[in-house]
Amino acid sequence: MHNVKEYIDEHKNRFLHELVELLKIPSISADSAFSQDVLDTAEAVKEALEKAGCDVVEIHETDGYPIVYGEKIINPNLPTVLVYGHYDVQPPDPMDLWNSPPFEPVIKETELHPQGAIFARGACDDKGQMFMHVKALEFMVNTDQLPCNVKFMIEGEEEVGSSNPPPTLRKRRKNLKTT
Q: How many Cβ atoms sit within 10 Å of the Cβ of residue 114? A: 8
- Look at the chain and report how many structural domains it folds into: 1
Give the residue numbers marked as catalytic. Answer: 88, 158
pLDDT in tens, 114-167: 999 999 999 999 999 999 999 999 999 999 999 999 999 999 999 999 998 888
- The pLDDT assigned to 179 comes to 58
- Asked if omega into 66 is within 30° of 0 (cis), the reply is no
- The pLDDT assigned to 172 comes to 74
Domain that holds residue 169: 4-176
Please give the average per-residue pLDDT across 39-43, as a whole number. Answer: 98
CATH number at residue 146: 3.40.630.10
pLDDT in tens, 80-107: 999 999 999 999 999 999 999 999 999 9
Which range (8-22, 41-55, 157-171) has the least confidence?
157-171
pTM of the model: 0.94
- The pLDDT assigned to 54 comes to 98
